[in-house]
Amino acid sequence: MQNASDMPNAEWTRTPLILSFADNPKFTETYGFAGNSGKVNLEGQLLRAPDSQSKTVYVFMHPTSVLHLLPMPTALADAGLDILCAASRYPRNDTALIFEKVAIDLGKWIAYARRELGYEKVILVGWSGGGSLSLFYQAQAENPSITHTPAGDPIDLVQAGLQPADGVIFIAAHLSRAETLTEWLDPSVTDELDPDNRDLEFDIYSPDCPNQPPYSAEFIVRFREAQRARNRRITAWAESELARLDALNTPERERAFVVHRTMCDVRWLDPAVDPSDRRVNWTYMGEPMAVNVGPVGLARYTTLRSWLSQWSYDKSNAKGPMNAARIHKTPVLQIENTADEAVPSTHNPTIYEALATPDKEYIQLKGATHYYLEQPELLEQCISSVIDWSQRKQLLAE
């Protein structure tokens, strides 16, 4: 077996790719020329050696990010693998993102990798937010069922011709955007238009909050219930607003709104809650209290339809365990980073338990953080695990 440490860093190049296909949405939801050209224009990068003869490609896609500069894809390219970093139609902006449309975009890239680039094996790598996307895509490719978005708009994944990937790798990935956001929603907010109007009982960042760490089990249950209740209030409002706009029968078909305080979780302040190797009072975006009120954060600015598709706890089709249970045929490798500042330690075991495929493997990287910053040895372990699994599953020639 050849692993990452056996190979010198490969010489590879970045080849920019553009994939276009026809699209005629009811209204424009993507910014600029792409939203008005009658086409979806996707951008990507192929990382591979100029003389590569590999018949296997590893496809990375995140719903809203571009991944071609992150440590994982470039480290895999350094190890001599062919990597396709594929962007969706929503690069760097998830304001109006519709998950069902992202699945179509990913399907176009997988078909392109086989048809135009000539790859025989396509391995889907779900890193971070790409993990639940990979599960959603593979579930619909194996057993398509969705014909409408949660907002009721037609989007036919049954007839979309989604090609299953030959394998799925789940690295440093959470349950889903909807479930993760709900675990991070600040339940003290009682008025979505006035974030200063808060319930002190759940305002854990306030020194006056009557509940301080270590938190009681009873308080944690009520805190989680309050988080889900807030998500459901926003969902109910989004559905009623869409119905109201539809009844007006005017050109106004959509509306954007702000979701305040979306980085609040008892596990960050009390290490006894969901214990792991992560740093206390810290998240992948920094100090949690600052991020909670800052201009960035999950779902900070979104639209009615996008909320229902990607953030609604009850309505989103992209929830990880639900889709893992629909994957019956595909080999899956899960890699959990035990010091991950973004992914709670409960998430990966939940996905593993839900996966219906009998061909599943689980690896823990002790002490690894979300981005492997200043952890070259742990990054190398991850790459070696990917190569070893790929070869054993006959997805990558030795």
The string of pLDDT tens digits covering residues 211-264 is 999 999 999 999 999 999 999 999 999 999 999 999 999 999 999 999 999 999
**What is the tens place of the pLDDT at every residue in 353-367?**
999 999 999 999 999
Q: What is the mean pLDDT of residues 198-209?
A: 97
What tokens does 5 get?
């440490």
Residue whose entry in the numeric block shows the structure tokens 């309050």: 226
Q: What is the mean pLDDT of residues 182-203?
A: 97
> With contact defined as beta carbons under 8 Å apart, do 342 and 184 qualify?
no
| Domain identity same for 28 and 164 | yes
pLDDT above 70 for 115: yes
Predicted pLDDT of residue 161? 96
Q: pTM of the predicted model, to two decimals? A: 0.94
> With contact defined as beta carbons under 8 Å apart, do 172 and 127 qualify?
yes
Residue 389 three-state SS? helix
Segment holding 380, helix H or strand E: helix 376-392
| Domain identity same for 190 and 229 | yes
Q: At 280, which amino acid appears?
A: V
Q: What is the dihedral of CA 28, 29, 33, 39, to 10 degrees?
A: -80
Nearest in space to 47 (alpha carbons), one of 19, 62, 69, 63: 69
Residue 397, in any domain of the structure: no
Residue 58, in any domain of the structure: yes
pLDDT band (50, 70, 90) for residue 1: very low
Predicted pLDDT of residue 398? 61
Residue 135, in any domain of the structure: yes
pLDDT above 60 for 287: yes
Residue 65, in any domain of the structure: yes
Residue 35, in any domain of the structure: yes
| Domain identity same for 204 and 139 | no
Say how far apart CA 172 and CA 317 lie, in whole Å. Answer: 21
> With contact defined as beta carbons under 8 Å apart, do 347 and 165 qualify?
no
Q: Where are the beta strands (DSSP E) in the chain?
A: 13-22, 39-48, 56-60, 82-86, 121-127, 167-171, 256-258, 301-303, 332-337, 360-365
Please provide the average confidence, as pLDDT, over all residues in the chain: 93
Q: Where are the beta strands (DSSP E) in 208-260?
A: 256-258
Say how far apart CA 115 and CA 105 lie, in whole Å. Answer: 15
| Domain identity same for 154 and 38 | yes
| Domain identity same for 69 and 122 | yes
Residue whose entry in the numeric block shows the structure tokens 């969902």: 235
Nearest in space to 306 (alpha carbons), one of 105, 97, 91: 97
**CATH number, domain with residue 65:** 3.40.50.1820
10 Å CB burial of residue 334 (0-12, 13-18, 19+) is buried
Residue at which a domain ends, from 255, 284, 311: 311
> With contact defined as beta carbons under 8 Å apart, do 87 and 44 qualify?
yes
| Domain identity same for 250 and 140 | no
Name the domain count of the chain. 2
Residue at which a domain ends, from 249, 284, 311: 311
Reduced DSSP (H G I as helix, E B as strand, rest coil) percent helix, strand, coil of the chain, to 5: 35, 15, 50
For 293, other C-beta atoms within 10 Å of its C-beta total 15
Residue 269, in any domain of the structure: yes
| Domain identity same for 320 and 303 | no
| CB burial string 348-358: b at 16+ within 10 A, e below | beebbebbebe
| Domain identity same for 163 and 200 | no
Domain that holds residue 229: 180-311
| Domain identity same for 150 and 282 | no
Residue 147, in any domain of the structure: yes
| Domain identity same for 35 and 157 | yes
Share of the chain above pLDDT 90, in %: 88
Residue whose entry in the numeric block shows the structure tokens 């709104």: 257
pLDDT above 50 for 155: yes
| Domain identity same for 164 and 199 | no
Residue 398, in any domain of the structure: no
Residue at which a domain ends, from 257, 291, 311: 311
What tokens does 115 get?
């048809």
pLDDT above 90 for 30: no
| Domain identity same for 86 and 185 | no
